[in-house]
Amino acid sequence: MMKVVDLGLERTRYAVIDETIESRWRRVTSMQHDAVAVVTPRDRITFAELELRTDALVRELRLRGSHGARPVAVDLEPTAESVPAILATLISGRPLVMIDPQLPEARRAHIMSTSGAVPLQSILDESAATGFRFDSALEPSSSDPAMIAFTSGTSGAPKGVVLSHSMCLNKADELAAAIDLRPDDHIGNLLPVSFGAGITALIMGLMNGVTVYCWDPRIDGVSGIDDWLIENSITTTHCAPSFLRAWSDLDCGAANDDSIGSLRVVVTYGEAVHGEDYARHRSHGFARVTYVNWLATTETGVVAYNVFPPHSELPVGVVPAGRARDGKDVQIVDVNGVPLPDGEIGEIQVVSSDLADGYHGDPDRTATRFTRLGDGVSIYRTGDRGRIDERGELQLRGRVDDAVKIRGYLVEPMEVEAHIRRIPGVADVFVAVVLENDRPEIVAYVVLTKAVMARSGAEMRRELATYLPAWMLPRHFVLMPALPRNERGKVDRTALPSVEVRSTPPTLAGPAELWLSSIWESILGIDSIDREDDFFELGGDSLASTEVVAKIHDMFRIRITAAEFAAASTVKDLAALVDRRRIDPDDRVCHNTMVPLKLEGSGRPLFIMNGAGCPSTTLSTLSKALHTDRPVYALQPHGFESRGLPDRSVKASARRFIFEIKKIQPTGPYLLAGYSYGGYVALEMATQLSESGDTVEHVTVLDTRISTEAAARLAGRAGITLDPSIVDLAPQPSTNARWKPTRRTVAAMWIRTLFAGILQYPPATQWTVFLYIGGQALRKHRMRTCAAPVTVIRGATNNRGREIWSLIATGSLEFDDVDACHEDVVRQPYVRKTAAIIDRVCDRA
C-alpha cells in the first residue's frame, strides 16, 4: 500500500530539515518501487524505472571529466523522459540549472553564461567519446547547492538563486503540509517544470511517493483539462491565476456545482489572484474544492499562504497573501529596515534559517538583499510592498519599484488593477506607468471577455471615476486579445505594446479648441488634451461621440453630425469646423451618405459600406488601424444624419452608393467592403457594377451573417441540399448601442420607420430605426451571385463556411476569422486583426 514519507514537520522555529535529496529519494523508492511516478499526456514512468535511469546518469555525472563539478544544464522537455535528468543532477552533487526549451535564445545564453553550466548532453557525449574514469565526487551534504534557479526576470535580468538540498526539500514539504498531501493523492502540476512552483510541485510528489501528472499549458492548452482531471482522478492542481481564468472560461456542459472529478485542492502561484477568479472557478463545477493562494519567492520559499475551504466566503478584489508559517517571520519595514506597525505599508522582508544562499556569481547583489544574523538565520528583503491588515494577514501592494507619485499622490498599480477587474466584462488587466511630458501617467492593458460587446477606454474610465480619484485613473487604455506572458506565466512587460506619449506640453489655439478640449475631458475622463489628439485614439467610440455632438449644440447652438465628427476627429479639425459653422450655419460639407474617413493616400480608394443602424463613427477606429496607402470612405444609409428618404431595399442602397462612389472614382476597378448589413450592399454593388461593365477588384465582407432562410433559397436555386448540421444564425446588423427592441416597443418603432429620414430622432432611437429598416430590407432581399473576388471576415459566432458562401461568391473566395463578437470586429482590440486582413487584401489587389 502506498505511503507518504514521514515529513518530519514537527520542528522548532527556524529549524531546517537536515537531509539531502538523495537520502529522501532512497527512502521513497524503497517504499514505492512499482508505483507510477510521473505521467504526462505523452508518456509515463514508474518509480522503479525512474530509479534505474537516474542511477545510470548519476554515475556519469559523478565521474569528473574535463568539466569538473560545474553546474549541469538540463533542457526540460514536457515529457517524463526529462525527470531522470533532473533527479540525477540533484543527486549527483552538481547544481542543476533548468533550461526551458521555449526560452528566447538571448535569455538562454544569459543563463548559461551567468551559471557557467555545461549542457547535460555535452557531458554524456564526452563520457562516451573519451571514457573518462576519474575518482567519483563526494556525495553532497544537505547544505550543499542542489540547484541554481533563475528568476523570471520580470523586474530585470534573470538572477541565479542558489538553493541547497535542505531548502529544496523544505519548499516541497511546506507545500505538502499546506495541502495535507495524502497517500492516494494525484498531483496535477499545471505549471512548466522550469517554473519555480512547477519544480517544487514535482519534487513534492517524487520525495513523498505520490504520482505527479504534468500538464504544460503552453503545449497542452486548456480545452481538455476537465476530461484530463476526470480520467486521471486528479486531486490537487497547481497553476497560475491566468490559467485558472482560462480554465473557468471553458464550457463545463451539464456539470452541476460539485460534479467534476475528484479535485479537492487548487493552489495558485506567481501573481495576484482575485476572489472573483476563485468564485468563477468554483461555479465551473468545483464547489467542493479548497483554494490556496500561495505567496513564495525563489529566494525564500513560501512567505505566506491563504486557504479558502469549500463554501467559504471569498474576498472581494485581490486575495490577501495570508499569514506567515512556522519557520518564517514576515516583517514590514521602512526604507531603513525599521519594522513598521500593522496597517502601514512598507517593504516585505523575511527572517528565517531556510533561505537561499544568495545569487550565483553576484556577491554585491547578495549583500544588498541578504543579511546574515548568525546561527544560520538570515534576513531577505523581497522588494515587494505590503501591509499586515487588521486580521493579521499579509496584503501585497506590488513591487517597491512600481509605486509612483502622480499629482503628488502615491499610486500603486496593483490597486488600480484591482478596481479595473471590477468592471463587468474585464477578463484580465495589467497596469504600468509611462512618462508623458515629464510626468507619470497610468497605462491599463485590458483583456475583455469575448461574449459581449467590448467597452471602450472612455466607458471604463468613466466607470472608474465613480469610485477612484482623478490621479488613479489611467490616461491610456490599450485593449488586447490577451496579455503577453513569459514561460513562467507572468506578464512579459517587454512584449506589451508601447503607447504614443507626448514629450512636450499640450497646446491649444483659440477659444473653440479650449472649449472643445474641456468637452472631451469631461466625456473621456482625462485632462491635458492636445489639439492634435484624436478622439477615437483616446478611447472614444460612437456612443461617446454623440455626447460630444450634443454638448457642441448646447454650447455653440450649432449642429455637427456624427459623420462630420468622423471626418474631423482631432481637436484642431473639429474646432475649425465649429468656427466655420458659427460664422455660416449653412457652411456644410454634405456627409449625408459618403463620409471621408481618410483622405491621404496614393492608391485607389477603399469604400466601406456601414451597418444598417451604425453611424459612420463606427468605422473610425477601423480606418485609423488601416495602414494601406489609399483614401478610405464610409457609406451610411441615406437620411441617417440629415433629411432624406431612406432606401428600403438592398438593391436601392446599392444603386445610391454606386452613384456616390462614382463622384470620387468615376471608373473601376473598385475596392469594396461591407460591415454587417453593409456586406449585403457591397456584394450587390459588385454585381450591379459588373452588369454595367465596370470592374470590381475585390469585395471584403466583415462579419455579414447569412440567415438559414437566405441560405436555403440559395441552395434551392442551385439545386443542392444543405448539410442539416448547419446551425441557424440570423443576420445581426450592428447597432453599436446597448439598446435592444422589446415587444412593447416594436409597434412604436414601426411607426417611427414610416417617418425615418423626415424626422430626426435622438441618436439611440435613430440608430434603432435604421436597424429596423435594414432588417426589413434583408427579409425582402434575394441575394445574387458575385463574380468578383471575395474575402469573408467572420466573427466568433459566424458559422457560415464555404458551403454557403460559394453559392454567392462564384469567383475567388477566402476566409479569415477574428475571434470577437459581432460588434467588436471593428472595435479595439480586435480591429487590429481586421485591419491587417483588409490591408493584405488591398495591397494584393
Please indicate, yes or no, whether residues 491 and 612 belong to a single structural domain of this protein: no
Residue 325 counted as domain residue: no
DSSP state of 534: B
8 A C-beta contact, residue 552 and residue 580: no
Residue 814 lies in a domain: yes
> With 60 as the cut, is the pLDDT of residue 254 above it?
no
* Domain's final residue, options 446, 472, 495: 495
21 has pLDDT over 50: yes
Task: Based on the fold, state whether residues 490 and 613 are members of the same structural domain.
Answer: no
The number of distinct structural domains making up the chain is 3
In a domain, 269, yes or no: no
* Separation between Cα atoms, residue 300 and residue 352, nearest integer Å: 8
**Per-position DSSP letters for 469-521, written without gaps between them:** -GGGS-SEEEEESS--B-TTSSB-GGGSPP----SS-----SHHHHHHHHHHH
Report yes or no on 42 lying in a domain.
yes
pLDDT for position 1: 33
In the chain, the largest separation of any two C-alpha atoms, in whole Å, equals 99
Which tens digit of pLDDT belongs to each residue from 304-317? 999 999 999 999 88
- pLDDT at position 253 is 52
Task: Kindly report the CATH number assigned to the domain that includes residue 648.
Answer: 3.40.50.1820
Q: Considering the domain boundaries, does residue 440 fall inside one?
A: yes
Reading phi first (left if > 0) and then psi (alpha if -120 to 50, else beta), residue 318 is in beta
Statement: residue 257 has pLDDT above 50: no
Does 483 share its domain with 625? Answer: no
Report in angstroms the alpha-carbon separations of 9 from 20, 323, 325, 355, 658.
Answer: 16, 18, 12, 17, 81
pLDDT at 381: 94
Radius of gyration of the chain, Cα coordinates, nearest whole angstrom: 32
| pLDDT for residue 33 | 78
Provide, rounded to the nearest whole percent, the portion of the chain with pLDDT above 90: 41
Q: Within this chain, do residues 48 and 158 fall inside the same structural domain, yes or no?
A: yes
Those residues whose C-beta lies under 8 Å from the C-beta of residue 151, and which sit 6 or more positions away, are 158, 159, 161, 298
Whether residue 828 sits in one domain with residue 703? yes
Backbone angles phi, psi at 494, to 5 degrees: -70, -20
Q: Are residues 211 and 79 in the same domain?
A: yes
Let me know if residue 487 belongs to a domain.
Answer: yes
**CA distance linking residue 183 with residue 175, whole number of Å:** 15
Alpha carbon distances (Å) from 788 to 125, 227, 691, 836: 61, 46, 12, 21
Question: End of a domain among 194, 219, 244?
Answer: 219
In a domain, 276, yes or no: no
User: pLDDT digits over 414-458, tens only?
Assistant: 889 989 988 888 889 999 988 876 678 889 999 988 766 677 888
Instruction: Return all residues near 747 (Cβ < 8 A) that are at least 6 apart.
Output: none
Q: Pairing relation of β-strands 236-239 and 186-189?
A: parallel
pLDDT, tens digit (0-9, with 9 covering 90-100), for 699-715: 999 999 887 777 778 77
Residue bearing the bigger pLDDT, 583 or 232: 232
pLDDT number for residue 306: 95
Mean pLDDT, the chain, whole residue set: 84
Single-letter code of the amino acid located at 24: R
Of the residues 219, 246, 271, the one at which a domain ends:
219
Task: For residue 37, tell me if it sits in a domain.
Answer: yes
3-class secondary structure, 419: helix
pLDDT tens for 523-567 read 887 777 888 888 887 878 777 888 888 888 777 777 787 778 877
Lowest mean pLDDT, pick from 146-150, 264-268, 318-322, 394-398 = 394-398
- 55: CATH: 3.40.50.12780
Q: What is the pLDDT of residue 65?
A: 55
What is the predicted pLDDT for the residue at 151? 83
What are the DSSP E strand ranges found in 240-283?
Answer: 265-268
Highest averaged pLDDT of the listed ranges 125-129, 291-295, 475-479: 291-295
173-232 residue pLDDT tens: 999 999 999 989 999 999 989 888 999 999 999 999 999 999 998 888 888 899 999 999
Residue reference for cell 432588417: 775
Please tell me the predicted confidence (pLDDT) of residue 730. Answer: 42
CA nearest 424: which of 464, 475, 468, 467?
464
Is 598 found in the same domain as 464? no
Q: Is the dihedral of CA 21, 23, 28, 33 positive or negative?
A: positive
Residue numbers of the domain that contains 125: 1-6+16-219
Which grid cell is 189? 502540476
User: What pLDDT digit, counting tens, does each position of 68-103 carry?
Assistant: 578 999 998 888 889 999 999 999 889 999 998 888
3-state secondary structure of 114: helix
Q: Is the pLDDT of residue 6 over 80?
A: no
Closest among 485, 466, 401, 477 to 442, alpha carbons compared: 477
SS3 604: coil
712/599 same-domain check: yes
What is the reported pLDDT for 34? 84
At 628 the pLDDT is 86
Mean pLDDT across the stretch 758-774?
A: 82
- Residue 252 and residue 237: Cα distance in Å, rounded? 17
**What is the C-alpha separation between 246 and 224, in angstroms, rounded?**
12
- Minimal CA–CA distance to 294: which of 324, 267, 331? 267
For residue 14, the model assigns a pLDDT of 41
Q: How far apart are CA 374 and CA 323, in angstroms?
A: 25
Q: Residues of 717-754 as b/e, b for ≥16 C-beta within 10 angstroms? A: eeeeebeeebeeeebbbbbbbeeeeeeeeeeebeebbe
Q: What is the pLDDT of residue 631?
A: 94
Q: What is the pTM of this model?
A: 0.69
